[in-house]
């Protein structure tokens, strides 16, 4: 049964509702595929596999194109003239990766057509069609046109060459460097297929804390083999570039971006990579951050570094994704302000093929952070979103947390950069500032665990990331429901309560870890479990005490105009809202303000009482998740059912651990009793 988890959301279980099954069986008698590319063959095979599971019998995959009740697929230019004419309007409205799914009726003949401008578009259309069946929707009269809103939809693997995964909680890296290039693990193919099913079209296969060896011929040969596997699935490979690679593997004395030999070294390296991988995507770079080398080592700046690499890949159509995750111990009055200060002055100075990759919040992938102030502040530079799918600060792959809720909250945030309605989504999809290159990255939660992600429900975070990358305006509720139907069951008695549980899980983790705007109080280094008391680390901004600043007078980080003034990095409307305790959303209160323990919240309770009640609420929410799950045994396979049960038990125990540890610690400062309703620590 572990095999079932492995299949992710592509279970293709036989449709159980007989009316719906009937509808599908009579509408789909055969498949006809126009075109012979590898991608079309993959699409055809996926349909056969999916349909034989869903309908319970094999479907003829080489049916004559004129037969009624045939599923017809192919790119627009391969279709018959009649079919081309029939979908002219629809195909004109899609982009290169979009697709059209349309019921075509002429006389007694009825067919379903899946078409697109490219083979990859057809493949995406096929997965979309299968999703309709997996989620039991009617296919009676289809008229669907859909296109991705963001160009680059990618995973970032923080995978090291020794197969350890930084912040990975699902086993070791998928990439078996030792056996590559000759040995192609089936897992690479299944990985590509799963990604294609949600529209992911790029992957950075190695860690941003980079090892220059990946750029040597010995490794490039292996990267080439992976790229070959991914290509027909529409997925491009990207690599991280260690800035000091010219020294480490190129025998140069410097990596100074102004040095002509260094520039030439990168140009030659790019040419060497493209000779092997003609569709290589480009480089992702972490520079001058957490000890990584970068242009600042030579007195140069981010623009100098990024543009040098951009010039090297430009002739081949490559891009550079330059990360904005920088902070320094030398300027540590408020870490949250540093990326903005280092980058915003350079707006408009980057080459056309550079995109700056910004984490969703200004600190580091916390259970909740206000959106990063860089979004909206660099209109002349394309900014790409970096979300974390792996749960570094959210209970690893042990806690059930449905992350699309978090992503959606960020994407919907209004930056006001061009007045009301300037949401983060509109910045990263390029629509607000008219950018040609647009991107979104998710730090992968995937490893070689049998079920890929460690926690069965963490599969939903991979899935949901892909869906939001395709359409950042989608509702995370719809995504949760689709995922549940595709993965487990279409029974309403299952869907409704489990969906509720998923949707609440994000707020639960915020409540039992960092309510009311608290952040970064996890134990240090590994970031698992509470550690608000830690204060002895060498760099000030590594200590949890730096972030919560609890004392007898109160708690919270004053980032308002009376404090670090980080609020001033936002557009005036947003700055004003965060700056004032009366208008600052309570969920972000202690992110922006240091308030007395007696400060009254909107519900009339003191800050101390509210904090304690929030911690308790988090524990209660996890208890409720347990109760819900315990009644779902009939709808879920035995292995994932039991796994989730055990994991929820740990999560409940640890929610209490968080509550007790944090409240006992903060109580030393507040000097107050726990309010009624909050369980006493045992
Ligand atoms: O979240 C922090 C992590 C580091 C990571 C860094 C980054 C890859 O603790 O492990 O390094 O961010 O994003 O660069």
- Which atom of ligand 1 is the closest one to the Cα of 386? 13
Supply φ then ψ for residue 70, to 5 degrees: -105, 145
Flag whether pLDDT at 277 surpasses 70: yes
Collapse the DSSP code of 280 into the 3-class scheme (helix H, G, I; strand E, B; otherwise coil) and give the result.
Answer: coil
**Beta carbons within 8 Å of 636's beta carbon, 6+ residues apart:** 488, 489, 494, 644
The answer for 492, left when phi > 0, alpha when psi is -120 to 50, beta otherwise, is alpha
- Which atom of ligand 1 is the closest one to the Cα of 292? 14
Supply φ then ψ for residue 218, to 5 degrees: -60, -40
Collapse the DSSP code of 385 into the 3-class scheme (helix H, G, I; strand E, B; otherwise coil) and give the result.
Answer: strand
Three-class secondary structure assignment of 4-32: HHHCCCCCCCCCCCHHHHHHHHHHCCEEE
Q: pTM of the predicted model, to two decimals?
A: 0.98
Supply φ then ψ for residue 465, to 5 degrees: -60, -45
CB 211 within 8 A of CB 159: no
Closest CA to 189 of 403, 29, 364, 38: 38
Per-residue pLDDT, averaged over 583-610, amounts to 98
* Residue nearest atom 12 in ligand 1 by C-alpha distance: 364
Flag whether pLDDT at 95 surpasses 50: yes
Measuring CA to CA, how many Å separate 288 from each of 208, 297, 325, 597?
Answer: 12, 8, 9, 39
DSSP β-bridge partners for residue 544:
none
Per-residue pLDDT, averaged over 171-178, amounts to 98
- Which atom of ligand 1 is the closest one to the Cα of 527? 9
* Residue nearest atom 7 in ligand 1 by C-alpha distance: 325
CB 155 within 8 A of CB 204: yes
Q: How many CB atoms lie within 10 A of CB 493?
A: 12
Pocket test for ligand 1, best of 210, 364, 522, 528 (most atoms within 8 A of CB): 364
Distance (angstroms) between ligand 1 centre and the Cα of 463 equals 22
CB 115 within 8 A of CB 99: yes
pLDDT of res. 329: 74
Q: Do the strands 143-146 and 109-116 form a parallel or antiparallel pair, or are they unpaired?
A: unpaired
Distance (angstroms) between ligand 1 centre and the Cα of 409 equals 22
Distance (angstroms) between ligand 1 centre and the Cα of 328 equals 14
Task: Count Cβ atoms within 10 A of the Cβ of residue 125 and give its class: 0-12 exposed, 13-18 middle, 19 or more buried.
Answer: buried
Flag whether pLDDT at 568 surpasses 60: yes
Distance CA 126, CA 45 (A): 10
Distance (angstroms) between ligand 1 centre and the Cα of 170 equals 17
- Which atom of ligand 1 is the closest one to the Cα of 393? 1
Write out the two tokens for 208. Answer: 């941003």
Supply φ then ψ for residue 33, to 5 degrees: -110, 125
Pocket test for ligand 1, best of 173, 211, 290 (most atoms within 8 A of CB): 290
Please tell me which residue in 5, 392, 482, 579 is annotated as part of the active site: 392
Domain 511-557+594-670 is found in CATH 3.10.350.10: no
Distance (angstroms) between ligand 1 centre and the Cα of 546 equals 18
CB 146 within 8 A of CB 132: no
pLDDT in tens, 467-489: 999 999 999 999 999 999 999 99
Please tell me which residue in 58, 290, 551, 598 is annotated as part of the active site: 290
Flag whether pLDDT at 186 surpasses 50: yes
Distance (angstroms) between ligand 1 centre and the Cα of 293 equals 15
Flag whether pLDDT at 3 surpasses 90: no
Per-residue pLDDT, averaged over 256-283, amounts to 98
Where does the pLDDT of residue 361 fall: very low under 50, low under 70, confident under 90, or very high at 90 and above? very high
Pocket test for ligand 1, best of 157, 159, 160, 167 (most atoms within 8 A of CB): 167
Q: Do the strands 202-204 and 236-240 form a parallel or antiparallel pair, or are they unpaired?
A: parallel
Residue ranges per structural domain of the chain: 2-146, 152-478, 511-557+594-670
Where does the pLDDT of residue 2 fall: very low under 50, low under 70, confident under 90, or very high at 90 and above? low
Active site annotation includes 162: no
- Which atom of ligand 1 is the closest one to the Cα of 207? 8
Distance (angstroms) between ligand 1 centre and the Cα of 325 equals 9
- Which atom of ligand 1 is the closest one to the Cα of 364? 1
- Which atom of ligand 1 is the closest one to the Cα of 286? 14
CB 622 within 8 A of CB 648: yes
Active site annotation includes 290: yes
Pocket test for ligand 1, best of 325, 444, 524 (most atoms within 8 A of CB): 325
Buried b (16+ CB within 10 A) or exposed e, 631-650: ebeebbbebbbebbeebbee
Pocket test for ligand 1, best of 165, 166, 522, 539 (most atoms within 8 A of CB): 166
Domain 2-146 is found in CATH 3.40.50.1370: no
pLDDT in tens, 400-441: 999 999 999 999 999 999 999 999 999 999 999 999 999 999
- Which atom of ligand 1 is the closest one to the Cα of 208? 8
Q: How many CB atoms lie within 10 A of CB 109?
A: 12
Active site annotation includes 364: yes
Flag whether pLDDT at 519 surpasses 90: yes
Distance CA 423, CA 278 (A): 36
Distance (angstroms) between ligand 1 centre and the Cα of 158 equals 9
Distance CA 506, CA 161 (A): 33
Distance (angstroms) between ligand 1 centre and the Cα of 289 equals 9
Q: Where are the beta strands (DSSP E) in 337-452?
A: 354-359, 383-388, 439-443
**CATH superfamily, with its number, for domain 152-478:** Glycosidases (3.20.20.80)
Distance (angstroms) between ligand 1 centre and the Cα of 228 equals 29
pLDDT of res. 682: 78
Q: Percent of the chain beyond pLDDT 70?
A: 100
Distance CA 393, CA 653 (A): 17
Please tell me which residue in 97, 364, 541, 588 is annotated as part of the active site: 364
Collapse the DSSP code of 382 into the 3-class scheme (helix H, G, I; strand E, B; otherwise coil) and give the result.
Answer: coil
Distance CA 679, CA 682 (A): 9
CB 54 within 8 A of CB 130: yes
- The residues lining ligand 1, judged by C-beta closer than 6 Å to any ligand atom, are 158, 166-167, 208-209, 286, 290, 325, 364-365, 392
* Residue nearest atom 1 in ligand 1 by C-alpha distance: 364
Buried b (16+ CB within 10 A) or exposed e, 150-160: bbbbbbbbbbb
CA atoms within 13 A on the CB side of 635: 20
Flag whether pLDDT at 1 surpasses 50: no
Across all residues in the chain, what is the average pLDDT? 97
Write out the two tokens for 172. Answer: 């070791």
**Beta carbons within 8 Å of 358's beta carbon, 6+ residues apart:** 323, 324, 325, 339, 372, 374, 375, 383, 384, 385, 386
Q: In the 8-state DSSP scheme, what is residue 326?
A: -
Flag whether pLDDT at 605 surpasses 80: yes
Closest CA to 125 of 52, 180, 76: 76
Buried b (16+ CB within 10 A) or exposed e, 574-587: bbebbbeeeebebb
Supply φ then ψ for residue 561, to 5 degrees: -65, -15
Measuring CA to CA, how many Å separate 303 from each of 177, 335, 403?
Answer: 33, 21, 33
């Amino acid at each position: 049964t572990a095999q079932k988890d492995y299949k992710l959301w592509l279970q293709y279980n036989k449709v159980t509702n007989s009316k719906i099954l009937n509808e599908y069986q009579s509408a789909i008698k055969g498949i006809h595929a126009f075109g012979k590319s590898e991608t079309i063959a993959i699409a055809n095979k996926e349909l056969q596999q999916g349909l034989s599971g869903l309908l319970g019998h094999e479907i003829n995959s080489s049916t004559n194109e004129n037969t009624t009740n045939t599923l017809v697929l192919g790119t627009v230019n391969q279709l018959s003239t009649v079919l081309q004419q029939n979908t002219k309007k629809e195909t004109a409205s899609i982009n290169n990766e979009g697709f059209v799914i349309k019921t075509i009726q002429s006389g007694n003949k009825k067919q379903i057509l899946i078409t697109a401008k490219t083979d990859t578009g057809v493949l995406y259309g096929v997965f979309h069609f299968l999703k309709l069946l997996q989620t039991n929707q009617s296919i009676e009269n289809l008229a669907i046109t859909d296109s991705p809103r963001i160009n680059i939809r990618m995973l970032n693997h923080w995978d090291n060459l020794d197969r350890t995964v930084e912040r990975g909680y699902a086993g070791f890296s998928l990439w078996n460097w030792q056996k590559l290039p000759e040995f192609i693990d089936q897992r690479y193919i299944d990985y590509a297929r799963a990604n294609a099913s949600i529209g992911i079209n790029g992957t950075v296969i190695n860690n941003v804390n980079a090892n220059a060896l990946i750029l040597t011929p010995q490794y490039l040969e292996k990267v080439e083999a992976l790229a070959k596997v991914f290509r027909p699935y529409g997925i491009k490979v990207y690599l991280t570039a260690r800035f000091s690679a010219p020294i480490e593997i190129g025998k140069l004395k410097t990596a100074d971006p102004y040095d002509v030999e260094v520039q030439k070294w990168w140009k030659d390296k790019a040419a060497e990579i493209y000779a092997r991988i003609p569709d290589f995507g480009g480089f992702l770079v972490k520079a001058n951050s957490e000890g990584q080398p970068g242009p600042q080592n030579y007195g140069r700046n981010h623009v100098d570094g990024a543009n040098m690499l951009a010039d090297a890949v430009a002739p081949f159509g490559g891009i550079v994704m330059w990360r904005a995750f920088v902070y320094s111990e030398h300027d540590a009055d408020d870490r949250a302000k540093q990326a903005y200060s280092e980058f915003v002055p350079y707006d408009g100075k980057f080459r056309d093929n550079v995109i700056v990759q910004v984490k969703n919040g200004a600190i580091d992938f916390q259970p909740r952070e206000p959106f990063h102030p860089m979004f909206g502040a660099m209109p002349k530079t394309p900014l790409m979103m970096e979300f974390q799918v792996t749960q570094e600060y959210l209970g690893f792959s042990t806690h059930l947390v449905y992350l699309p809720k978090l992503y959606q909250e960020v994407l919907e945030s209004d930056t006001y950069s061009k007045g009301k309605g300037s949401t983060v989504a509109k910045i990263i999809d390029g629509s607000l500032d008219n950018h040609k290159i647009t991107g979104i990255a998710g730090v992968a939660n995937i490893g070689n665990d049998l079920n890929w992600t460690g926690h069965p429900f963490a599969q939903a975070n991979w899935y949901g990331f892909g869906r939001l990358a395709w359409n950042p305006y989608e509702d995370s509720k719809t995504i949760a429901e689709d995922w549940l139907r595709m993965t487990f069951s279409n029974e309403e008695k299952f869907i409704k309560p489990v969906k509720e549980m998923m949707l609440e899980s994000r707020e639960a983790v915020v409540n039992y870890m960092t309510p009311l705007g608290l952040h970064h109080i996890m134990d240090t280094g590994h970031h698992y479990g509470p550690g608000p008391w830690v204060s002895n680390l060498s760099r000030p901004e590594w200590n949890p005490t730096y972030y919560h600043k609890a004392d007898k007078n109160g708690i919270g980080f004053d980032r308002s105009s009376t404090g670090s003034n980080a609020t001033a990095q936002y557009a005036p409307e947003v700055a004003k809202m965060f700056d004032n305790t009366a208008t600052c959303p309570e969920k972000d209160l202690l992110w922006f303000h240091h308030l007395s323990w007696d400060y009254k919240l909107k519900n009339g309770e003191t800050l101390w009482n509210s904090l304690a009640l929030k911690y308790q609420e988090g524990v209660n929410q996890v208890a409720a998740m347990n109760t819900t799950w315990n009644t779902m045994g009939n709808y879920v396979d035995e292995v994932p059912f039991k796994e989730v049960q055990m994991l929820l038990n740990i999560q409940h125990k640890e929610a209490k651990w968080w509550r007790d540890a944090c409240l006992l610690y903060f109580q030393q400062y507040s000097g107050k009793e726990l309010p009624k309703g909050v369980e006493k620590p045992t």
